Amino acid sequence: MRVLPYILAGVLSISFVGLKLYREVPMGKKIYADLSSLNRLLETPLVGSTDDSYYYFISAYAYYKNFLPVLEMVGGKYLVSFRFLSSWVFVPFMWLFKDHFPLAYIIFFTFAVMLLFVFLLEKLGVKTQIIFLMLFLISPIVFYHIPRLMLEGPTVVLILLFFLFNPVF
Amino acid sequence: MEINLVKEGKLVLYNVAKNFFNLIFLPTGKFTLLLKSPYLWFFVVYGIFVVCGIFRFLMFNSSLIPLLYLILVAIYSIYNPFGSIHSHRFKVVLIPFEVFFLGSWITKRRDIR
């Protein structure tokens, strides 16, 4: 196992997250979410959030509070059916890291994607210099898309895991 | 309002095909604007390499992976024939496939699958 490509991937991941924060924190976006109520969660502009992140947060908040996509609203309990299947990816981060979940989500998936890319290339037997080249090649795309509160990160991680650990192929 | 099926159908097919190629070559919907930026040229060259990698896979190896890749692109092109502001997000899902094609092309190890 070669160590240098993994170190480069780690350094690039740190810089991606750092640059994302450097870009978005002065714009007034917050690193920490307020999970005391759904309204506060939805009203806080979070680092790395896109316009549809907040649709996922509604169901994720219901899972976080009630273990089911059920929310208490206007005196009754209602099933939140909007994106209730895919929003579960946020829930383990909410349970583990509470208010820090946006930062944890961003850091986890940026590192996971970059390190799994290196793992895939190493499994294919690509030379170290070519791994470096390909890491820099995909860097702009990873930097722009993965450190965000969206499903791109988890999807890419799933596809990479499919290539790495499937018994069929 | 009257709909001319032939005329509208041609337009839809044209947009599906355009979307298909836009998704394979990274800068979605922008590289048609005469490729003024060297950044766009870079991604078109990258896309050509990826297409060569896919063809190499299809010619010399009956793998399901390039077919899966092309089916994903086709489904997205048909699902959203007139493009979207979010279509570039879908491209991110295709990057692992492309890394796989290029990586296995470079090493000539196509038996991994």
Q: Is B85 on the interface with A (CB under 8 A)?
A: no
Note the pLDDT tens digit of each residue in A53-74.
999 999 999 999 999 999 988 8
- Here the ipTM equals 0.84
* Joined tokens for residue A34: 């307020």
pLDDT above 90 for B65: no
Closest Cα in chain B to A118 = B99
Are B112 and A123 in contact (CB < 8 Å)?
Answer: yes
Of the partner residues B97, B102, B113, the one whose CB lies closest to the CB of residue A134: B102
Phi, psi of A146, deg, nearest 5: -75, -40
Q: From the list A137, A156, A163, which residue is nearest B92 (CB)?
A: A156
What distance lies between CA A142 and its chain's CA centroid? Answer: 11
Q: What is the pLDDT of residue B113?
A: 47
Could you report the per-residue pLDDT of A85-135, keeping only the tens digit for each? 999 999 999 999 999 999 999 999 999 999 999 999 998 889 999 999 999
Q: What pLDDT is attached to residue B111?
A: 56
> What tokens were used for A69?
């996509």
Kindly report whether the global pTM for this prediction surpasses the value 0.80.
yes
Under the banding of pLDDT at 50, 70 and 90, the label for residue B30 is low
The answer to whether B97 touches B30, Cβ cutoff 8 Å, is no
Query: What is the per-residue burial (b if ≥16 Cβ within 10 Å, else e) of A99-136?
Result: bbbbbebbbbbbbbbbbbbbbbbbbbebeeebbbebbe
State the Cα torsion A150-A154-A155-A160 to the nearest 10°: 150
- Segment holding A127, helix H or strand E: none
How many Å apart are CA A103 and CA A110, to the nearest integer?
11
Q: Where are the domains of chain A?
A: 4-164
Residue B16 Cα, gap to closest chain A Cα (Å): 23
**How large is the average pLDDT for residues B28-34?**
58
